[in-house]
Chain A
Amino acid sequence: MQLDTSAPNPVISTNSSELGGSIKTGSGKLFDRKNRLLFYNRAFKIACIASAAFVCLILFSILFFMFRTGVLTFRDVSPMTFFFSSDWSPENESYGAFIFIFGTFALTILTLLISVPLSIVIAVFLAEVAPGWMRNFLRPILDLLVGIPSVVYGFLGLTILIPLLRDITGTNMGDGILAAAIVLTIMVLPTISRISDDAISVVPKKYRDASYALGATRFQTIFKVTIPAARSGIMYGVILGMARAIGETMAVVMVIGNTPQLADALFKPTSVLTSNIVMQIANVPFDSTWNNALYMMGFLLLVISLLMIVLVRLLQRKGAHQ
């Protein structure tokens, strides 16, 4: 305040010295600017560490809680029965979850069989073939598709896809693993193709130039050079899509038929881990083996998706080394 009343000439010099001095001296004694800054820095650091710790705490308490409740299953059911028996009828004390575990993997594999080739073709088209204006038009559309809530996909599957499948194939119901795989394919398609698209786009131009210089055709260049070079990025997309397919619940539960029987045909109502949990969890008695078995299934899902994430990390590291 005193500075303002001083003569205009020395203002600049006092101002600069004042700036430098303010850090050292400041106004107060105990809580001067230096200490204040130090305090803010420390407090912010602690807040950041606390937030990070909080996230870890959430993850581990979820894991711990699911495991603690789930593992109680094995008081009443042997692990052999739980993992390898295909007789799931909780009302008669049979808790074989093999149908659901098998169903989850069968559904995921079928989904990937349909979606991966399609996605890669889309990605190649976007990155290599499509003219610029079309690329700029299609990429945001794919990004928007990722954001559609799964229940919408499920509802459309139930009201449009299943009657369509029934008409085309002449089956009685249409519910089953194929219907679920088609719905999931539509859901994971944008994820896989956009990530693959990015991976293909960043393949250095010199690779393509070298390939062309050796006399390769465009087709040969794309499938023998570009895609192999973008391999780890594409795998990353596939695994993300796979994780989404494994964990997806709402869309699946609406089209899969929810019957505890082995998915040995494309059009047979069946059930997977997620759909079985959501179908039954509201209706089970709290402290029953049945309830614990559902928690165990949830824990299994959690472990599977954690493994997927670890795999993604490994691939990323491998990709970075190349």
Chain B
Amino acid sequence: MKLFKSLSVAAMAIALVASSISSVGAASSLKGKIVINGSSALLPLTLQAANEFKKLNPKVKISASAAGSITGPQSVRKGIADIGAVDWDASTDVPGFKKFDGQVANKVAVIPFAAVANKNVGVSNLTTKQLQDIFSGKVTNWKDVGGSDASIIVVNRAFGSGTRVNFQMKALAGSEFLSKGSNYKEVKSSGDMKTAIETTPNAIGYIDLVYVTSNMKALQINGVAPSEANVINGTYKVWGFGYFMTKGKPEGAVKAFIEYIQSVKFQNGSLKKLKFIPISAIK
């Protein structure tokens, strides 16, 4: 670990020197410190962008960390962070969370979500109505939605999860979740959701599209399969923007950093590699 660290430090130093030599004329005079906190789903994207941005602007210091989505706009309000990463537009009201006044939402990525079920589930397509009935506890047996006779195990993310907010708004059209029952459980993270769906027969849940594996079944919603192509062509509706919240309009180094993430080069390069969808792809 130590060796790896020092190696990567050395590599970065070399890269820095190289970039400063090669671009002496173009070297940016941008200075400043950017603190980013918030959604863990957006963290890989933020880190990647921060690394690239620091190479271009060696005088800008960026520190990024993640907890829950809601901590992003909160840290911005408290002045702890300059950028709050969040999976929903925190400048408007969403189910369960009030809007944050005076904050500006800057779109940085498109995050698709999928309804997923255990491999043993025979159903492969659900309508919005059926999803609402299942997640509100009205339908409790797979046979009522065209499957075999077995109880439906509903796996939900805990209240406050950005994935939960998005799924509720986009896939369930805002309808409420059930919160009790002997066939209902909540999990802490996308990783736990993945394990729960993979190992629990008759389970249904939802997850970021990038987490969908071949050991689970991604369900079609209203006959449309969850895929990047279907998000881009507009037929698959269950996706959300990832946002960087700032206090007022972004300025200086923060503005440059957000513009860098939104740039065509980053959106079509690193962002795609991390399996997000460029914001420009959405019409």
Contact = CB atoms under 8 A, between A and B. Distances in A.
Interface string B111-125: 000000000000000
Contacts of A91: 96, 159
Nearest to B70: A283
A172 B153 CA distance: 7
Interface size class of B (residues with CB under 8 A): 20 to 34
18 contacts: A89-B179, A166-B201, A172-B151, A172-B183, A173-B182, A253-B188, A254-B192, A258-B185, A261-B180, A269-B184, A278-B188, A279-B188, A282-B71, A282-B160, A283-B69, A283-B159, A284-B70, A285-B97
B250 to A, nearest CB: 23
A306 to B, nearest CB: 27
Interface string A269-290: 1000000001110111110000
Q: Which of A89, A254, A261, A283 has the most CB of B within 10 A?
A: A283
B68 A279 contact: no
Given A279-B158, A283-B159, 6 more contacts: A268-B182, A269-B185, A282-B67, A282-B68, A283-B161, A286-B74
Interface stretch (A73-81, A156-164, A192-200): A156-164
Which applies to chain B's interface (DSSP): helix, strand, loop or mixed? loop
Contacts of B161: 283
Interface of A: 89-91, 158-159, 162-163, 166, 172-173, 175, 253-254, 257-261, 265, 267-269, 278-280, 282-286
Interface of B: 67-71, 74, 78, 96-97, 151, 153, 158-161, 179-188, 192, 195, 199-202
Contacts of A282: 67-68, 71, 160
Nearest to B176: A91
Nearest to A163: B199
Contacts of A260: 179-180
B66 to A, nearest CB: 9
Q: Which of B68, B78, B181, B188 has the most CB of A within 10 A?
A: B188
A92 B195 CA distance: 30
Contacts, number: 72
Contacts of A286: 74, 78
Given A159-B195, A283-B161, A259 B186 contact: yes
B101 to A, nearest CB: 14
Given A89-B179, A284-B160, A285-B70, A162 B199 contact: yes
Nearest to B71: A282
Contacts of B68: 282-283
A268 B182 CA distance: 5
Contacts of B201: 166
B159 A90 contact: yes
A100 B97 CA distance: 24
A269 B182 contact: yes
Q: Which of A89, A166, A284 has the most CB of B within 10 A?
A: A284
B153 to A, nearest CB: 6
A173 B160 contact: no
Nearest to B202: A172
B195 A158 contact: yes
Contact of B200 (A173, A259, A278): A173
Nearest to B192: A254
A91 B94 CA distance: 12
A93 B159 CA distance: 13
The 6 closest A-B pairs by CB, nearest first: A283-B160, A282-B68, A257-B185, A283-B68, A258-B186, A269-B185
B276 to A, nearest CB: 22
Given A258-B188, A278-B188, A172 B182 contact: yes
A260 B178 CA distance: 11
A220 B83 CA distance: 71
Contacts of B67: 282
A66 B97 CA distance: 25
A260 B97 CA distance: 20
A282 B78 CA distance: 16
Nearest to A160: B199
Q: Which of B74, B78, B182, B202 has the most CB of A within 10 A?
A: B182
A259 B199 contact: no
Contacts of A253: 188
A283 B179 contact: no
A280 B160 contact: yes
B202 A158 contact: no
A173 B153 contact: yes
